[in-house]
Amino acid sequence: MFKYENGEIVSNTKNTYGVCPNCDSDNLDYDTMEIDSDFNGMVSSQKCTCKHCGFEFTEWYRMVYDGFTTDAELHDYNFDPNGELA
């Protein structure tokens, strides 16, 4: 929910995806996710509309490297971000 000072928005209690910052409802309608590699590294965004109150907003997601998996036909190994077997 929005926090105001002198009629201006100064913060919000939203700290996770999937909830409306206006009414805290989790009944959201999502547009297609967009990926932007030029904005602070790899980021994706998704426009949302709250089905409860009609508020429109965009959620931003930061992508981080989280490891890799080898080709399952040759070897089937999973590695964490440090190169250790997961």
Q: What share of the chain is helix, strand, coil (3-state, %, to 5)?
A: 0, 40, 60
* Mean pLDDT of the region 17-27: 95
> Band of the pLDDT at 43, cuts 50, 70, 90?
confident
**What's the confidence (pLDDT) of residue 58?**
94
Q: Which pTM was predicted?
A: 0.70
State yes or no: pLDDT of 52 exceeds 90: yes
Q: Which of the pair, 75 or 16, is modelled with greater confidence?
A: 16
- Do residues 41 and 52 lie in contact, with contact meaning Cβ atoms separated by under 8 Å? no
What's the N-to-C CA distance of the chain in angstroms? 39
Q: Please determine, for residue 78, whether its predicted confidence score (pLDDT) is greater than 90.
A: no
DSSP state of 19: S
